[in-house]
Structure 1
Amino acid sequence: MAKRGGNKRVDPSFDEPHRASPSRFAVSEDDRVVPSGRRKKRSKKAARASRKTRRRSSVGLLGRLVYWCFVLCIWLGIGGIGLVAYYGAQMPSATTWAVPERPPNVKIITVDNKLLANRGVTGGEAIGLHEMSPYIPQAVIAIEDRRFYSHFGIDPLGVGRAFASNVLGGRLSQGGSTLTQQLAKNLFLKPDRTVERKVQELLLAVWLEQTYTKDQILEMYLNRVYFGSGAYGVEAASRRYFGKSARNVTLAEAALLAGLLKAPSKLSPARDPDAANDRAEVVLAAMRDQGMIGAKELSLAMKATPTRAASYWSGSENYVADYIMDQLPDLIGEVRTDIVVQSTIDLNLQKLAENSIRELIAENGKKLNVSQGALVSLDNTGAVRAMVGGYDYAASQFDRASEAKRQPGSAFKPFVYLAAVEHGSTPDSVRNDAPIRIGNWTPQNYKGKYYGQVTLTTALAKSLNSVAAQLAVQVGPGAVVEAAHRLGIQSDLQANTSIALGTSEVTPLELTAAYVPFANGGYRPKVHFITNITTTDGKQLYQASAGNAPRVLKPEVVGMMNAMMQETIKDGTAGKADFGWPAAGKTGTSQKSKDAWFIGYTANLTTGVWFGNDDGTPTKNITGGSLPTLAWNHFMAAAHEGVPVRKLPGEWYPTPVPSVDVGEPVADAGGGNGVMRSQRASDVPTGSIRRPSADVGGPKVRREKSLLDIILGN
């Protein structure tokens, strides 16, 4: 076959031995899909190069991220500075900034300089950091601002921690404010949650740190911060919750106070004692973590009895404090600085008075349907030594001693007898105790008992209504009103014959004060609760005058009144009041036993007691001779313990005639009224009085004059 193109055809063969030929189809080592060993080495190098490339790429990405973050921070910083500058420019010049004065506190102390109460917006005085228990600042720092002594007013770490916690938690649960920031907010700013307020807070915090020391800032904070239940500052809070000064607070109590700062109103032990104590345990744990207390201290504090506080200020001394606060504007005007008010109150007597009322109501309240009581005690100068305005101040702040007007009943009769004595009668003058009618009024004796012919002494001791009404007619109601006002009754009195039985309302304070002239020899002193008022640095603002009290009773009249009213305790309706001292007084019970009274006195103290109900519902037959005399006895016996015995002022010597045997009423055939032999006869006042047909009759006898009547020209 002829050649074409001069080439020989070559057919593929797989049987012949391999011959290297460039034109022959063959697979070389380099043509393998899987590279040879030399090829592998080249691939590892490439991988390493690739990884380096990736690393360089990552570093570049991180670098770019850091860069842009840095740029962002710069812009945020610029924006922040601009924001601060903008809001800062709207604030007054820093040269005019000054910490505002703390709201003034009124410190009320007793006659012997013991604390009675604090009043004012804060509810407590300011005390130095060095004065308060060291546990208090430690506890507050541990739970509120652990880096307080190292930051410059703003704690970046704290802000960052709070921010991260809030972001992770998905809600605003923590704040990064330092104690300095909190102080700045409380001192200068409103509690608005705005950017402007926050910027101003930061600026003020830095200013505070530059102007004051750390201890000064902490002291200002602790004396102004709110602790719940109306208490501002640690002293007020300590008094409020523990009944003692912040100087004496224990570790457990300090932890409770510090715990309240998170939510003062919600965590107050007066509202939720369990929540308050749970929070206190968190504070104790924080103090232990920071090395402020040891394991033993922690264990003891954890075992402390949980604090439970009354829902309101407790203690009867608060009635006195409220009364004093009402008087201050008239004495010194507006209170502009911290002041100290020295009161006339004796704290021991105040506690005795409180216990006298509380114990009897606790024991007999439900049984006798009585829920309230009041007690007032004054000395012969008119100084109020104790005043209890109710059963429990925490439950009711209404002062029943100085504000509540009630019918005094027979406790008003001494003014009737006083008017009669001043019009010529004497303790041994005789009146016929029998049913009478005055116009349409028919006064009746207790349980309808009548004793016939009796002396005025007996009539007053046994509180005979018939005789008191006769005397009111004899002297005229106007004379009775005048006598009562002259001795110190301030309330308006109705000049009618029923005034003889105490139908015009008075307060326990004024009624008790009106008995003081009987105790001091006939003088009416000015009733007062305050002796002097000073600023905390000793500047005197007020001093009670030492002027002489006016004489309102003649000595012989004092003697006759005391002679009659002593019999009330010796052999009359107030027998339970007797405690061994020369004493006198008068019981009183209003209609349906709504009010029960006893006003009694010695040569040292005059004390009045009232029991009843605020709504005027009747008690279960309480009389002035029951609970009131028991409370009076309890208080006066303790108040006079260890005091030299003194007799009552004034003397009166009765005409030496046979004594009267009062005894029990003797039935009379005419109408069941009693008739008694008296030491002498006496006219029954006529006037508008007329006797019912069943009355005991008898001839009218001219009243005999006693030697004292002749001396006085009666």
Structure 2
Amino acid sequence: MARRDFPRRSDPERSPAPREREPGQTSFLGRWLRRLLVWGTALTLLAAMALAVAVFVTERSLPSYERMKSTQTGQTIVVRASDGSEIVTLGPSYGRWVPYERIPQTLKDAILSVEDRRFEDHWGVDPVGIARSVWVRIQYGQWRQGASTITQQLARNIFLNNSRTFDRKIREALLALAIERKFTKDQVLELYLNKVYFGGGAYGVDSAARKFFGHSGEQLSLAEASIIAGLVKAPSHYSPTADPDAAVKRAKTVLGTMVRANKLTPAESAAVDLKGVKFASEQGQNSARYFTDWVLPQLDLVLPDNDQPIEVWTTLEPAAQHAATDAIQANVPKGAQGALVSLDRDGAVLAMIGGTDYVTSNYNRAVNAVRQPGSAWKLFVYLAALEAGYTPDAKVKDEPVTIDGWSPRNSGGTYAGEIDVRSAFAYSKNTVAAQLGNEVGFGAVANMARRFGITTPINTMPAMVLGSSNVRVIDMVRAFAAVSAKGSAITPYGIRKITSTEGEVLYSHRPDPVQQLVPNYVAAGITDLLQSAVSIGTGRAAQIGRPVAGKTGTTSSNKDGWFLGFSSGITTGVWMGRDDARPVPGLQGGTAPARAFAAFMKIATAKRPPERFDTEVKLPQWQLEPDDESMQANPDGYFYADPDGNIIEPGAQGRTPSADSVVPSGEQGVPVPEGAPAAAGDDFLNRATGRQNEPPRPKPKPSQSPKPN
């Protein structure tokens, strides 16, 4: 019988055993974890290497420590008065550099407590601080705590800007790591405290201390240090000059932070008297700004191509400037403006007022405005007349006169008849000034004004003798200062020296060589006239109890009032009037301007001894009669005439007359004084005056006056 095969049942007990994994085999997840670990480690190593290379390259590119110290944004210019006090600071103010060892420890502790408590532990970037900042962000949903270290802030201040981009943060961190590798912690903190911005334009601890407390950054008390440290977070909000209460409140927070950082004990913190801190008052920048606006453009001339922080030591005297401000404001008529310039005997500007209020109008009328000087212009008329041979005692006639259709009138319409030159000047007789100008030549008067420093255009019409040409206040003061200097030229200047912030002298003013504008006897004569104008004439209101010489000036319809004069080596000029040149009722040079001059000069000269003027006119032997000739140069460099009219060449005394020195035809009978050469002939005159081959002009009759030049 055939066998029948039946399928066998499966026996669970006899089922085959599962296949064992081969050695070295891993799961899919394990393989990917392993790959991630390997690649992550590799990438981390590559990133670390790249970071190390980047830090190394950045470190090599960093400037030296000395260069880092001098790096700053913009040029700082500190303008100082003659006594060293600060007038104004322009641009960012960095103050003096304070070395690490001289920075108060209380300030170091305060800054580290509020800005970077882990400063000594990190490498420029603080991972703990970053983690804490992120955690706060998660808790509150916004960034409420910064993670920038002091080193990062330093890198941002020196090399970067304040933009909040991710790229800037990466570069900031890279620079911070490089800085920490190149410099020590003490150097980093020194750089930071000397460069961080504290508000009010003050960069660095010394600048901030001087601005807010009026003293050096090396002298900060604990209370002041806490205020300074609190400014870094928000300089404009916590600035003592903007909100002293906010600054004090922030300082309390700083003190509390110092306690938590174990830099202070609670008792020490409680003992700090923040309300007793005295803040420095803001420097006055009103009237003195007229002066600084005039001085600072001169830096391009005396110190070109300089972009380093500098200190400009000027000639301005604070007491004189204050007195000038008070004198103008107390005397200027309502609705009018006033200007004042005061020079020392060497030309140093002691005070300058360009208007009644700089805030309202910064237009400097002392150096920019051009106005008619009125009778103050007669200074040049009488200078020309004295140089031509007149003396203060010479007789002139105050009478009606007409010159080329122009008929000047005296103030009040009266005429005194025959008077001396001194009285004519003292009482500002217009008719006499017109006659003198016509006699010496209007061109000679214009040349005299130009010689004494008038820079504006000068007309030579007859009315010019009464001040019809526009002038600047500072130019007129310069002219009067030259008279005070006995006829020597004076150049106004306002900068004595320029130094670096470390005290290195970069520029020092040097006086100009002495230049004599007129002979001494002319300067003595005009000083005599100017003194008489104050003693008995129109300038009596300018008397100050010591010798004063000066001159008033008033233009038609009382549009301008002037007084210019000098005493004890100080020359001052005052102008008053309206900017629109409208009349000012009652304004005359002998009223408000003279009173302002006196008020100022009483204070300006208070510490100087009175000085007597040299008014003794010692005429030279070659002095001419007024109608003969107007001398325009030193006779020793040209030629002159003796009392008998004989032309004498320099060095011709005792010389045998040449063939050219013949007696003119028709005058052979005139005797020649013993020892004097004969009068010059036409050939000599032609050579001396440059008129070659010009026929001789007929000699005017004695009764005729020379025509104006």
What is the letter of the counterpart of residue 123 of structure 1? S
Contact 1:375 1:387 in 2 (8 A): yes
Question: Residue 424 of structure 2 aligns with which residue?
Answer: 459
In structure 2, C-alpha distance between the alignment counterparts of 1:155 and 1:576, rounded to whole Å = 75
Question: Residue 102 of structure 1 aligns with which residue?
Answer: 71
In structure 2, C-alpha distance between the alignment counterparts of 1:398 and 1:606, rounded to whole Å = 23
Query: Which deviates more, 179-188 or 430-439?
Result: 430-439
2:274 to 281, 301, 313: 301
- Do the aligned partners of residues 188 and 527 (structure 1) sit closer, same or farther apart at CA in structure 2, a change above 3 Å counting? same
Residues 1:351 and 2:326 aligned together: no
Deviation at 1:457, TM superposition (A): 2.1
What is the letter of the counterpart of residue 96 of structure 2? A
- Do the aligned partners of residues 169 and 296 (structure 1) sit closer, same or farther apart at CA in structure 2, a change above 3 Å counting? closer
In structure 2, C-alpha distance between the alignment counterparts of 1:329 and 1:569, rounded to whole Å = 41
Deviation at 1:351, TM superposition (A): 1.9
Question: Residue 533 of structure 2 aligns with which residue?
Answer: 568
**Cα deviation code 1:481-525 (max 9, x no counterpart):** 211111222233233333323333333222212112211221114
In structure 2, C-alpha distance between the alignment counterparts of 1:574 and 1:134, rounded to whole Å = 63
1:592-603 matched pairs, under 5 angstroms: 592-603=557-568
Question: Residue 675 of structure 1 aligns with which residue?
Answer: none
In structure 1, C-alpha distance between the alignment counterparts of 2:594 and 2:252, rounded to whole Å = 51
Find the residue that maps to 2:526 and give its secondary structure.
Answer: helix
In structure 2, C-alpha distance between the alignment counterparts of 1:263 and 1:617, rounded to whole Å = 51
1:66-77 matched pairs, under 5 angstroms: none
Question: Residue 204 of structure 1 aligns with which residue?
Answer: 175
- Do the aligned partners of residues 194 and 423 (structure 1) sit closer, same or farther apart at CA in structure 2, a change above 3 Å counting? same
Residues 1:521 and 2:486 aligned together: yes
- Do the aligned partners of residues 577 and 363 (structure 1) sit closer, same or farther apart at CA in structure 2, a change above 3 Å counting? closer
1:531-542 matched pairs, under 5 angstroms: 531-533=496-498, 535=500, 541-542=506-507
2:520 to 555, 562, 565: 555
Contact 2:337 2:577 in 1 (8 A): yes
Contact 2:226 2:254 in 1 (8 A): no
Deviation at 1:550, TM superposition (A): 1.0
2:571 to 602, 606, 612: 606
In structure 1, C-alpha distance between the alignment counterparts of 2:357 and 2:88, rounded to whole Å = 18
Residues 1:647 and 2:612 aligned together: yes
Question: Residue 691 of structure 1 aligns with which residue?
Answer: none
Question: Residue 677 of structure 2 aligns with which residue?
Answer: none
Which residues of structure 2 form unaligned runs of 5+? 1-32, 620-625, 628-641, 649-705
What is the letter of the counterpart of residue 285 of structure 2? S
Residues 1:122 and 2:92 aligned together: yes
Question: Residue 401 of structure 1 aligns with which residue?
Answer: 366
Question: Residue 628 of structure 1 aligns with which residue?
Answer: 593
Deviation at 1:528, TM superposition (A): 2.9
In structure 2, C-alpha distance between the alignment counterparts of 1:611 and 1:288, rounded to whole Å = 59
Residues 1:369 and 2:335 aligned together: yes
1:233-248 matched pairs, under 5 angstroms: 233-238=204-209, 240=211, 245-246=216-217
- Do the aligned partners of residues 108 and 351 (structure 1) sit closer, same or farther apart at CA in structure 2, a change above 3 Å counting? closer
Residues 1:184 and 2:155 aligned together: yes
What is the letter of the counterpart of residue 170 of structure 1? G
Deviation at 1:560, TM superposition (A): 0.9
Contact 2:558 2:588 in 1 (8 A): yes
In structure 2, C-alpha distance between the alignment counterparts of 1:466 and 1:133, rounded to whole Å = 75
- Do the aligned partners of residues 197 and 76 (structure 1) sit closer, same or farther apart at CA in structure 2, a change above 3 Å counting? farther
In structure 2, C-alpha distance between the alignment counterparts of 1:557 and 1:476, rounded to whole Å = 17
Find the residue that maps to 1:631 and give its secondary structure.
Answer: helix
In structure 2, C-alpha distance between the alignment counterparts of 1:490 and 1:351, rounded to whole Å = 29
Find the residue that maps to 2:147 and give its secondary structure.
Answer: coil
Find the residue that maps to 1:176 and give its secondary structure.
Answer: coil
In structure 1, C-alpha distance between the alignment counterparts of 2:469 and 2:52, rounded to whole Å = 67
RMSD: 4.3
Question: Residue 283 of structure 1 aligns with which residue?
Answer: 251
What is the letter of the counterpart of residue 558 of structure 1? A
Contact 1:569 1:577 in 2 (8 A): yes
Deviation at 1:642, TM superposition (A): 4.3
**Cα deviation code 1:253-277 (max 9, x no counterpart):** 655554443344565566xx33x53
Find the residue that maps to 1:290 and give its secondary structure.
Answer: helix
Contact 2:325 2:353 in 1 (8 A): no
Contact 1:582 1:646 in 2 (8 A): yes
Contact 1:107 1:124 in 2 (8 A): no
Among all aligned residue pairs of Structure 1 and Structure 2, give the percentage whose two residues are the same amino acid: 34
Higher Cα Rg, which structure: 1
In structure 2, C-alpha distance between the alignment counterparts of 1:709 and 1:142, rounded to whole Å = 96
Q: What TM-score results when the alignment is normalised by the length of structure 1?
A: 0.69
In structure 2, C-alpha distance between the alignment counterparts of 1:635 and 1:249, rounded to whole Å = 39
Which residues of structure 1 form unaligned runs of 5+? 1-67, 655-681, 684-706
What is the letter of the counterpart of residue 358 of structure 1? T
What is the letter of the counterpart of residue 71 of structure 2? R
- Do the aligned partners of residues 305 and 613 (structure 1) sit closer, same or farther apart at CA in structure 2, a change above 3 Å counting? farther
Residues 1:378 and 2:344 aligned together: yes
1:669-680 matched pairs, under 5 angstroms: none
Residues 1:471 and 2:471 aligned together: no
Q: What TM-score results when the alignment is normalised by the length of structure 2?
A: 0.70
In structure 1, C-alpha distance between the alignment counterparts of 2:130 and 2:272, rounded to whole Å = 32
What is the letter of the counterpart of residue 483 of structure 2? F
In structure 2, C-alpha distance between the alignment counterparts of 1:571 and 1:605, rounded to whole Å = 21
Deviation at 1:385, TM superposition (A): 3.5
1:220 to 175, 191, 194: 191
Contact 1:613 1:619 in 2 (8 A): yes
Deviation at 1:557, TM superposition (A): 0.7
In structure 1, C-alpha distance between the alignment counterparts of 2:559 and 2:49, rounded to whole Å = 70
- Do the aligned partners of residues 167 and 528 (structure 1) sit closer, same or farther apart at CA in structure 2, a change above 3 Å counting? same
What is the letter of the counterpart of residue 498 of structure 1? A
1:488 to 447, 453, 462: 453
Contact 1:352 1:635 in 2 (8 A): no
What is the letter of the counterpart of residue 492 of structure 1? P
Q: For this pair of structures, how many residues does the alignment match?
A: 582
In structure 1, C-alpha distance between the alignment counterparts of 2:245 and 2:105, rounded to whole Å = 20
Contact 1:109 1:117 in 2 (8 A): yes
Deviation at 1:215, TM superposition (A): 3.9
Contact 1:231 1:237 in 2 (8 A): yes
- Do the aligned partners of residues 92 and 128 (structure 1) sit closer, same or farther apart at CA in structure 2, a change above 3 Å counting? same
